[in-house]
Amino acid sequence: MASKPRFTKQGTTPQPEGTPQPEGTPQTEGRPHPVDEKLPALKMATTGLQHVAAMYAGVVAPPLIVGAAVGLSAKELTFLTGACLFTAGLATFLQTLGIWNIGARLPFVNGVTFAGVAPMLAVVDSTKDKDDALPIIFGAVIVAGLLGFVAAPFFSKMVRFFPPVVTGTVITLIGISLMPVAFGWMQGPNPAADDYGSTKYLSLAGITLVIVLLLRRFTRGFVKQIAVLLGLVIGTLVAIPFDVTDFGPVADADVVGFPTPFHFGAPQFAAAAIVSLCVVMVVSMTESTADMLALGEIVDRPADEKTIAAGLRADTLGSAVSPLFNGFMCSAFAQNIGLVAMTKIRSRYVVATGGGFLVLMGLCPMAASLIAVVPRPVLGGAGVVLFGSVAASGIQTLVKAGLDKDNNVLIVAVSLAVGLIPISAPEFYHAFPETAKIILDSGISTGCVAAVVLNLLFNHTGRGGDDDEVTAPMEPGGEIAEQRTSSAPAGSSAAGAH
């Protein structure tokens, strides 16, 4: 039964009963809170597009990485990319507009999370028939999403067990784990080719990297926000004389299309893959919680326990529904939180408009195919910035974690070492069963488990080894509140793993 709408004391926009409404939120008499404000259509459209531009490269990178590992054709890769754009739009709608007690109702952009890329690659590597890889991944994401939805209200109470020392370690591992992907792209499209790693490919990658860096250094505002996207465009144009740019995918793509449900096959449910993606879901929920705490401070609507629970429900439900349309696990995009802080435009309807553009792009295969035109070396050059920024965000979080305490140094040191095993020694777990290797070969998953367990051992058991110097667990909102005076940087580095 639908709940009756209720109005706030000041006569704000009606919201369903049960919508989190933190007390003490500043608001002008008779006017809606800036978060609930509806801007003029033109401004809504342009600012919504800016949010899409800021997160576009992050949305299309995971399907490109996983699709390439599976061995998809250019047309199938375009389909997978469009599906992820479409599902990102749906998840953004769910988060910003909300239904019932689902959705934080904050200017919160959702899309495919980077945290799931490494475990999904491990699933691909361990699957003999590559045609089964995507169905196995989709089945694991569905289960992880449904379990996360049930756990959301409980997880919102346990956030204190995931302080910056844990989240920072995991985010750093995400960035480091993805760097080899960028390095592989830089060397060319085919590892078996004679010209793989040639100076031609490495030069294109270097030119793209320099373009992105120059745009970030010498431009401002909107252009600076889309530096990675512009770098991909310019790098692709530069690559044309090198005869490595293929416009075939655009010519073959339809103008209008729909992500057919279960296009790659019905979901399959493999225990090891499910466990691995459930670990990723915990990581994703942790990142989203940090993002909500940061964003709530930036927009002057602090995220309380109910808001966090509602936001996590949107994340997890969006993830569970996403595989129906051939998409992956969804989570918050921290770079868009930085965009909210920079522009001072706090309306959730602006972000919902951006979600609408994502849906439209997902329904236009020709638009989605444009990214398939970008040569791999060009993607690799931009990927260095993209993946490196994720690792840098994790380091920024670790700076606030209290690394002057011996306990926290040990937690970070051991967790990073465990997480780096699959990268530095790929055959380390060769003697383990294949099902166990799906989890163990994901440095993000093993590093996260190690960080959580070590944090509980050193910072939650007894008095710890540093007596009173041990860092206390983070209370929800506590660490963010301390950074209130510089909320924009804190918001942009709270998760950064997308």
Interval 91-111: pLDDT, tens: 999 988 888 889 888 888 888
Give the pLDDT confidence score for residue 303 in this predicted structure.
77
CA nearest to 446, candidates 480, 421, 463 = 421
* Distance separating alpha carbons of residues 121 and 118, to the nearest angstrom: 5
Give the pLDDT confidence score for residue 463 in this predicted structure.
58
Say which residues have a Cβ less than 8 Å from residue 291's Cβ, sequence separation at least 6.
108, 332, 334, 337, 491, 494, 495
DSSP E strands in 322-451: the ranges are 330-332
pLDDT tens column, 210-237: 998 998 888 887 677 667 778 888 988 9
Does the pLDDT at position 121 exceed 80?
A: yes
Say which residues have a Cβ less than 8 Å from residue 242's Cβ, sequence separation at least 6.
200, 204
For residue 129, the 8-state DSSP code is S
Domain chopping of the chain, boundaries: 46-493
Does the pLDDT at position 249 exceed 80?
A: no
Cα dihedral 317, 320, 322, 328 sign:
positive
Q: Do 331 and 315 contact (CB within 8 A), yes or no?
A: yes
Over residues 334-339, mean pLDDT: 66
Which of 313-317, 427-431, 446-450, 465-469 holds the top average pLDDT? 313-317
For residue 112, the 8-state DSSP code is E
* Distance separating alpha carbons of residues 381 and 203, to the nearest angstrom: 9
Does the pLDDT at position 130 exceed 90?
A: no
Neighbours of 114 (CB within 10 A): 28
Task: Determine how β-strand 110-112 pairs with β-strand 330-332.
Answer: antiparallel
pTM of the model: 0.64
* Distance separating alpha carbons of residues 428 and 441, to the nearest angstrom: 9
**What are the CA-CA distances from residue 469 to residues 271, 404, 476 (Å)?**
41, 9, 21
What is the distance in angstroms between the CA of the first residue and the CA of the last residue of the chain?
36
Give the pLDDT confidence score for residue 105 in this predicted structure.
87
Cα three-residue angle 316-416-178, rounded to 5 degrees = 60
pLDDT tens column, 151-207: 888 888 776 666 788 878 877 887 788 788 789 889 987 777 888 888 899 999 999
Give the pLDDT confidence score for residue 136 in this predicted structure.
92
Q: Reduce the DSSP state of residue 16 to 3 states and report it.
A: strand
Cα three-residue angle 124-129-131, rounded to 5 degrees = 80
DSSP E strands in 249-356: the ranges are 330-332
Does the pLDDT at position 333 exceed 80?
A: no
Where is pLDDT greater, at 254 or 126? 126
Give the pLDDT confidence score for residue 284 in this predicted structure.
79
Over residues 22-38, mean pLDDT: 62
**Mean pLDDT lowest among 254-263, 309-318, 347-356, 456-465:** 456-465
Q: Give the DSSP H/E element, type plus range, for residue 186.
A: helix 164-186
Average pLDDT, the chain: 78
* Distance separating alpha carbons of residues 423 and 151, to the nearest angstrom: 31
Q: Do 18 and 100 contact (CB within 8 A), yes or no?
A: yes
Give the pLDDT confidence score for residue 170 in this predicted structure.
79
CA nearest to 171, candidates 109, 228, 114 = 114
Tokens 């490495």 belong to residue: 202
Q: Do 394 and 169 contact (CB within 8 A), yes or no?
A: yes
Residue 217 exposed, middle or buried by CB count within 10 Å (0-12, 13-18, 19+): exposed
Q: Give the DSSP H/E element, type plus range, for residue 206.
A: helix 199-218
